Amino acid sequence: MSEYFEIDPDRYSRFTFSRDGRVLTAAITSDHPVNGVDGPMHDELAQVFSDLQRDAGSDIIILTGKGRAFCAGGDFDWFDEQIADPRKFRDIAWDAKRIVNSILEMEKPIICRLNGAAAGLGATIALLCDMIVADETARIGDPHVKVGLVAGDGGALIWPQLVGFAKAKELLMTGDLLTASEAQALGLINYAVPAEALDAKVQELVTKLQGNPRWAVRWTKTVANIPLRALAAQMMDAAIGWESVSNHMRDRKEAVDAFRERRPPKLTGD
């Protein structure tokens, strides 16, 4: 890591950054009301964790969202583009893998400040962080199946590791969302606290991390992530492949339309 590298906020349109000593906060920021993932955000997600790791002025990363949501999954206009032209889905496959791998490869500890809803890829990103502190009113889940997609962008990787296969498969195959309190009870996240206590709880964890030698902390995380990195290497090609296939299904468009229109889908099984 270069001692001169500092993350350049001007290269990002979907993130804002702030510093408090050697703590760097990266906030998902979008004109979308719930920070939905569109093409530019997906591009930046594939790069930002590498830049955060290389940033010489920080030891701890806080990842959060601006506004009322953390990141509530894919933007529906972007979904429409991918359904109309499946090549656009195929073209993001490498970046989709890079998002997962770059988070798992980071040495610096990442605390997720889950300020609001996290769904789909947003939930995956939150759960791949090292510690998750949530507003107790936040909801979290992976509703890929509800929009006709395989949960291929990391959900099928991380959920079973946190809550076990039986519960993870139930949640991934139903697409149900959990409250933050339910997520804490399952061991999916670390803490669910009132909104007014969110920053204090995050700071408590930051203080504890800062009280330990940084290289011991970083490399303990690195060792703990080895099984997850190995699992990602085994799974992500197939996961993204099957997700790409599901984008071609007829029920995919109907599921997206029904979800947007808040009605039951008229599924054909194709």
pLDDT in tens, 258-269: 999 999 999 999
Please say if the pLDDT value at position 1 is more than 60: no
Structure tokens at 71: 């990141």
Q: Residue 119: its pLDDT value, please?
A: 97
Cα separation values, 3 from 57, 213, 214, 217, Å? 8, 19, 16, 19
Asked if 49 contacts 102 with a C-beta cutoff of 8 angstroms, the reply is yes
* pLDDT band, very low/low/confident/very high, at 4 (cuts 50, 70, 90): confident
Which residue reads 């490869």 in tokens? 105
Class of domain 9-199+206-261: alpha beta
Q: Say which amino acid occupies 205.
A: L
pLDDT in tens, 107-164: 999 999 999 999 999 999 999 999 999 999 999 999 999 999 999 999 999 999 999 9
List beta partners, residue 60.
23
* pLDDT band, very low/low/confident/very high, at 2 (cuts 50, 70, 90): low
pLDDT in tens, 195-236: 999 999 999 999 999 999 999 999 999 999 999 999 999 999
H helices within 75-213, ranges in order?
76-84, 87-90, 93-105, 121-128, 155-163, 165-174, 180-186, 198-210
What's the whole-number average pLDDT of the chain?
96
Q: Residue 88: its pLDDT value, please?
A: 93
Residues near 211 by Cβ (< 8 Å), separated by ≥ 6? none
Pairing of β 131-135 and β 191-193:
parallel
Q: Is 27 helix (H, G, I), strand (E, B) or coil?
A: strand
Q: Residue 12: its pLDDT value, please?
A: 97
Q: Say which amino acid occupies 214.
A: R
Q: Residue 31: its pLDDT value, please?
A: 87
Round to whole Å and give the CA distance between 224 and 245.
Answer: 33
Q: Is 117 helix (H, G, I), strand (E, B) or coil?
A: strand
pLDDT in tens, 11-64: 999 999 999 999 999 999 998 899 999 999 999 999 999 999 999 999 999 999
CA 178 to chain centre: 15
